[in-house]
Amino acid sequence: MADYYEVLGVGRQASDDEIKKAYRRMSRKYHPDIAGPEFEDKFKEVNSAYEVLSDPNKRRMYDSGIDPNDPNSGYSGAGGFSSDMGDIFSQFFGNAFGGGFQEPESRTQPGRDSLSVASIDLKTAVFGGIAHVSIDTFGLCQKCGGVGSENGEQPVTCPDCNGKGVRQKVVRTMLGQMMTTDTCERCDGHGTIIEHPCAVCDGHGRVRTKRDVGVTIPAGIKDNTRLRLVHQGDVGEGGGSAGDLYVDVRIEANSQFTRDGDDLHCWIQIPMSWAVLGHELDIDTFDGKQKLVVPAGCQPDQTVTLKGLGVTKLKQEERGSLIVHVSVVIPTKLDDKERELISQFAKRHDSKEHAINQSAKPSVVRKSFFSKLKDALS
């Protein structure tokens, strides 16, 4: 995918005004009637880049990795090189080709969208909450309120272009002298000038600022979810409406719990005697300490489910379950008396209940703890 920002010679954070200025400069530089026919391909490339970066929707698609000019991208928007050629001929030759001058550009422009990332812990994902992100955006100039003038004065008609935003001049080309149309340098195409620009924003009506934004995290949110905060992005030129702020939510790993959909999983280790005889114990949950009953005869890798202690289901009040995986700790060192007791139990229990069962598939019948203990000590 072509780097349209590099083609126009601007950075990815360039404003709409900077992109337009770069386009005008590059289109004049590479126009075949001025630079020569060998620059026709470069001229087309400049137009393709501007077609994408000057359109907020196309630029948003391009920044997300989709080239609207690529026929395989699935984008079916209108426009193309033919319309750009009309704009260029209108820019260079005015009415000579049947085109008319465009209206002066408004000083008030909509702002661009912004993107940020918020990291939250797993508990916030379970219950919801507020995350805070620090963003660097264009904000409304507090000194002039977005007007751009020092004393609230309204812009006046540009004396150089008489409010048209463009000026005509004669240039010498390979085809001879021609009348060209160019953006008025004094008013920068607006048709008006601010006689006393605001000292803080230099007439732009906005300033670069850092601010903290509180992001409402819905309960049950999934990792890598993108949230949209309306009008929390860049304020536009001339105090124009702000774009939107998109926040990508990342959920940090937790040391005690793993998430699977709306369920939480954790693993505990218990002594062999608890598994055989059963036991009641307290475990940590996001709801505080909770009682867990290990049933008598609990097998290794057996799970105990605590309903309603999992993740809140998105846009619902119901919650998933906390699934506790039980791992049984088998002692590896026994004294003579303990070994004798285990051997006696094995003779009375394992020899009657279990027999060798060789199979190509895992057996449904699990070995008892004492069988496993005997194997471990043998």
Q: Which residues of the chain carry a pLDDT beneath 70? A: 1, 33-34, 71-102, 173-176, 350-358, 362-378
- Is residue 120 within 8 Å of residue 247, measured between CB atoms? no
**Residue ranges of domains in the chain, CATH in brackets:** 1-100 (1.10.287.110), 106-149+198-252 (2.60.260.20), 156-193 (no CATH), 258-329 (2.60.260.20), 336-377 (no CATH)
Give the model's pLDDT for residue 327. Answer: 94
Give the model's pLDDT for residue 63. Answer: 82
Give the model's pLDDT for residue 168. Answer: 80
Give the model's pLDDT for residue 244. Answer: 93
Q: How far apart are CA 194 and CA 187, in angstroms?
A: 9
Give the model's pLDDT for residue 93. Answer: 47
Binding-site residue numbers for Zn(2+) are: 141, 144, 158, 161, 184, 187, 198, 201
Q: How far apart are CA 197 and CA 193, in angstroms?
A: 9
Give the model's pLDDT for residue 71. Answer: 67
Give the model's pLDDT for residue 86. Answer: 45
